[in-house]
Every structure is written in structure tokens, then in C-alpha cells.
């Protein structure tokens, strides 16, 4: 059918094809540029959030670390129970997970009450189990529902929690996994 058209109409149709292709290409380039800019901003904010001295714009500076460096080692574990919501359009997802803490200390630390998520907000946190062993070892288990706003996947979210916990005593194989799983734009406390 196209072969039966006069040459000036063929030229007109070809120009329309070219024009539409150029418009779609420009729109695609603009969208990619905008998304990359948002991702870069999120990565810069992540680096600032993980820094002990720097502060994100519009955020309050954190309390300084104590001079004594007298930290209590806390072992943690996490189990992803499910993902309630996953929105690619809005760039967020809501995991439900169990997280446990185990430590031995006479100090009144409460890791379950004080832990935070990087690039996320805890929507609901319920203490499931808490006990103290005869040797003074404390254990707490929480069920958490969170909203994570990040260019991330569920496994990367779990490794972000595990790998960014500076008091965790990790075996060498886990430290190696943390270093391998860090994205090029992320920083790690293991570096």
C-alpha cells in the first residue's frame, strides 16, 4: 500500500516517522536524566546519613560518639517474612521482617528500641520475645513493618541493614559478602 503512494506523500510519511522517533528519543533522554538525578541525590544523602560527622540538608546533626569507645558488641539476625507492598511507580516497598538482637552487658542498652533503617521508615515495630539468660546474655526479637524509599531490591535492603551495623562481629566470609554486595555509589563501614 505504501508503494502505491505518490513520492511527495511517501516523503511526508517518512518525515512524520522521523519526527515521532526524535520526540520519543528526547522524552526517553529526559526521563533517564531525571531518574538518574534522583538516584544520585539519594546516594549522596545515603553517604551523608552514614557519616559520623556530616549532616543531610535540613536534618539535625547527630550526637557525637563517646570518647571512651566503650561499645557493646551486639549480634543481630534478620528474617524477611514478606513484602506487603512493592511499587515500582512510586519507588518504595514495604517489607515485614523479624530482627533479633543478642548481647551481654550490664549497661542499659536497648538495640531493638534504638535501631533505624537507612532510606526507610519503621511503620510498626512489635517486641515479640525478650529474655535474659543465666549468664547475663540478653535477647530481643521484634516484628517490623517498614516503608523503604530507595532504588533498591529486597536483598540489597537486607544487606544494607546487616553490613551497616558497625557493632556486629562478623565472620570473614560475611565481611567479604558485604564488601562484594556494596554498590559502587554506596559506602560501607567495612571499608
Q: Which residue has the higher pLDDT, 152 or 59?
A: 59
Extended beta strands in 49-190, E state: 74-87, 92-104, 120-132, 137-148
> Does 191 reside within a domain?
no
Residues 82 and 24 in one domain: no
Q: What is the DSSP letter of 184?
A: T
Tens digit of each residue's pLDDT (9 = 90 or more) over 115-128: 888 778 899 999 99
Q: Residue 165: inside a domain, yes or no?
A: yes
Could you give the number of structural domains in the chain?
A: 2
Is 12 part of a structural domain of the chain? Answer: yes
Q: Of 43-47, 66-70, 80-84, where does mean pLDDT reach its minimum? A: 66-70
- Binning pLDDT at 50, 70 and 90, where does residue 1 land? low
pTM: 0.50
Query: 3-state DSSP call for residue 57?
Result: coil
Residue 116: domain span: 74-181
Amino acid at each position: 500500500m505504501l508503494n502505491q503512494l505518490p513520492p511527495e506523500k511517501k516523503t511526508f510519511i517518512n518525515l512524520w516517522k522521523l519526527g515521532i522517533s526524535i520526540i520519543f528519543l528526547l522524552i526517553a533522554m529526559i526521563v533517564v536524566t531525571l531518574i538518574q538525578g534522583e538516584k544520585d541525590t539519594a546516594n549522596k544523602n545515603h553517604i551523608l546519613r552514614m557519616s559520623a560527622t556530616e549532616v543531610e540538608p535540613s536534618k539535625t546533626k547527630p550526637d557525637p560518639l563517646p570518647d571512651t569507645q566503650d561499645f557493646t558488641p551486639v549480634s543481630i539476625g534478620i528474617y524477611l517474612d514478606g513484602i506487603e507492598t512493592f511499587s515500582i511507580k512510586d519507588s518504595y516497598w514495604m517489607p515485614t521482617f523479624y530482627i533479633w538482637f543478642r548481647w551481654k552487658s550490664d549497661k542499659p542498652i536497648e538495640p531493638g528500641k534504638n535501631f533505624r533503617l537507612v532510606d526507610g521508615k519503621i511503620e510498626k515495630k512489635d517486641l515479640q520475645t525478650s529474655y535474659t539468660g543465666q549468664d547475663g546474655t540478653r535477647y530481643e526479637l521484634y516484628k517490623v513493618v517498614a516503608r523503604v524509599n530507595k532504588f533498591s531490591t529486597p536483598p540489597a535492603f537486607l544487606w544494607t541493614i546487616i553490613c551497616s551495623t558497625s557493632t556486629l562481629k562478623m565472620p570473614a566470609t560475611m565481611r567479604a559478602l558485604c564488601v562484594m554486595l556494596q554498590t559502587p555509589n554506596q559506602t560501607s563501614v567495612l571499608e
